[in-house]
Structure 1
Amino acid sequence: MKLQMIRKTKDPGIGEKYDKKSHRIINQNGTFNVQRVGRQSRIKDIYLLMVTTSWTNFIFFTALYLIGINLIFACLYFFVGVHHIEGVDHTTGWKGFADAFFFSVQTFTTVGYGSMYPDSFGVKAISSFEALLGLLITALTTGLLFSRFSRPTARVVFSKNALITEYKNGKKAFMFRMVNERKENLLETNATVILSLQNKTSDGSYSRKYYNLDLQIDHIYFFPLTWTVVHEIDEDSPFFNLSHQELKDYDAEILIIITSYDEAFYEDLHIKHSYHIDDFVWDKKFKKAFYTNDHGEVILKVKDVHTIE
């Protein structure tokens, strides 16, 4: 059956026509391959970025921000005169600046050991403002930490490759595998899989067509082990009679949306992933990732979700 005879699905919100050939739609980390320009940056955007960024970036930028603020106030104290701070050991040079920095940290965090304290109106005014700013930033940082810890995030791991391989009755199937890396249970998990094909039109532009793939099982009640999502390639499949080279020419990409209910946070989760044609592997199969030990316990080897043979 020709591809033109397969019923397309409507544009899922990504667009159908492009001036030039585009890269993959969804990156492997689940983000869209879209660069936004000309938008106005807002403080709320920075807050959302700090909530959603990785822990490594969060710790780095938070530390950089806090150190930067204290360096600014240390410069102000040094400019006004470190000798106006009682208890400092040095009033000039780098040692004097270091004492001003340590005084700034104590003021910012409202620790106040008592060994150093302001002794002029200028230093008192600066330290009062810094103490109030420190309370505000501490509250903001605490809110960010709470938002990060309370935000439900999925740790669903997808196999590195998607397979096109022999399945049943001599027919082939497209499949990929995933596993819940966390111990917390995911319930009522659903999978939606869309094939995207891109080709050049007569006017020189590029067009994307989308095909919703029928799955052998698109819903499971429990997700304690691996789940291999399978699309059988029959006469009604957009994969039917398409060779490896033809899929490459079409720049084929599989778009995946997983929805599930997080039992720990009592909230719904939405997970995005994609497989580009370069991630496809032919005529292989997934190695079983779990077994039962002598005590009757099911042992799941999470890393084996990627293993093919």
Structure 2
Amino acid sequence: MALLKRINPFSRQNDDTGFGINANGYGGRFINRDGSFNIRREGRSFMHRFNIYHALLNVPAWQFAAVILLFYFSINLMYSGIYWWIGTDGFQGIIGKTPWARFKEIFFFSTETFTTVGYGRVNPIGDGVNLVASIEAMTGFLSFAVATGLIYGRFSKPRAHLLFSDHALIAPYQDKTALMFRFASYKENHTLTNVEVLVTIALQVQENGAAVYRFYTLALERNKIETLSMNWTVVHAIDEDSPLLGFNAQDMETADVEIYVTVRGFNDVYSNTVLQRTSYTYQEIVYNRKFVPMYRESDNGKTTVLELHHLNKTKEIE
């Protein structure tokens, strides 16, 4: 029997996901765990597809710092090479006797010019080096203007600051079986309000002898809360209306199941609506385990402690 016939016809199909149905056109998951789309674009030149400003806004902090340092040293080495090529006779105040000592003085003159510090012991006297120094000074303040914009953009970019559990669970829930996962906000003073969650499942099925993907919006026990002050366990009851009714682990693998999640809420700190995505493939769905509570009363009994290190902690159902 084709897998399509096992899916409840009353399940809410979602044709507005933005993904196509052709199973042969996809490799791997639709959405990565970090929320980025698992898509690589081709067909246009790299420079046409690449935007260095937006790339630097989104790279990890260590990569951003590495790019800034690499740019700073590289451009000063470039200008130092130009000064060296013109000749050190165009400077006064150089006291180095060896070529390496003189080059170091020129390099540090370049850094002082680039940052417009200008300590003054080494200064240009020739027309050539004066011209290059004036261009370098202009390059310096333009570069710092761009770097300032990047740093501000990275610090002020609205974010949801959410952590999702590594696995989704399928386990008994009340008098039914349910799919569940949980997430929490990990930043102090970044409580989200008017939080909504949308959960969609992708299933590969057989239609007319061809494999295609079908998408269904999963009905949730609760899809909106007023405030995300603690953790939220999202629950989808696998009942007569669920597309997962009757599925076991082997069925999940056969259907190449992927569950992708979108969380949207208002962050008071940024005074803006923020959004974060993630997904779970059939390999990241665990059976017959339940989450361990991740909050407790403080030792003095005056506050609640949210234990983020317990976000992924589960135990077997007895």
Q: TM-score range by the shorter chain?
A: over 0.9
**Shift of the alpha carbon at 1:26?**
0.5
Residue 100 of structure 2: which of 94, 97, 109 is its match?
94
CA distances 1:102-137 after superposition (whole Å, capped 9, x unpaired): 111010000000111001000000001000111111
Structure 1 partner of 2:67? 61
Aligned length: 307
* Distance in 1 separating the partners of 2:76 and 2:296: 55
CA distances 1:30-72 after superposition (whole Å, capped 9, x unpaired): 1100001133535981111111211111111111111111110
- What's the secondary structure of 1:5's corresponding residue? coil
- Taking a change above 3 Å as real, the CA distance of residues 200 and 91 of structure 1, as seen in their structure-2 partners, is farther
- What's the secondary structure of 1:14's corresponding residue? coil
Residue 24 of structure 2: which of 19, 25, 33 is its match?
19
2:8–2:243 CA contact under 8 A, matched in 1: no
**Shift of the alpha carbon at 1:20?**
4.8
* Distance in 1 separating the partners of 2:8 and 2:166: 30
1:3 matches 2:21: no
Structure 1 gaps of 5+ residues are none
**Shift of the alpha carbon at 1:154?**
2.0
CA distances 1:192-244 after superposition (whole Å, capped 9, x unpaired): 0001012465565x411101000001000011100000000001101100111
Q: TM-score, normalised by structure 1?
A: 0.95
- What's the secondary structure of 2:14's corresponding residue? coil
**Shift of the alpha carbon at 1:153?**
1.5
- What's the secondary structure of 2:302's corresponding residue? coil
**Shift of the alpha carbon at 1:91?**
6.3
Structure 1 partner of 2:271? 266
Higher mean C-alpha displacement, 76-85 vs 217-226: 76-85
* Distance in 2 separating the partners of 1:21 and 1:108: 48
CA distances 1:236-275 after superposition (whole Å, capped 9, x unpaired): 1011001110111111000101000001111000111100
Structure 1 partner of 2:214? 209
Residue 199 of structure 2: which of 168, 193, 196 is its match?
193
1:257 matches 2:248: no
- What's the secondary structure of 1:19's corresponding residue? helix
Q: TM-score, normalised by structure 2?
A: 0.92
Residue 146 of structure 1 aligns with an amino acid whose one-letter code is Y
Residue 121 of structure 1: which of 122, 127, 133 is its match?
127
**Shift of the alpha carbon at 1:5?**
1.8
Structure 1 vs Structure 2 CA RMSD:
1.8
- Taking a change above 3 Å as real, the CA distance of residues 20 and 37 of structure 1, as seen in their structure-2 partners, is closer
- What's the secondary structure of 1:285's corresponding residue? strand
Structure 1 partner of 2:37? 32
Structure 2 gaps of 5+ residues are none
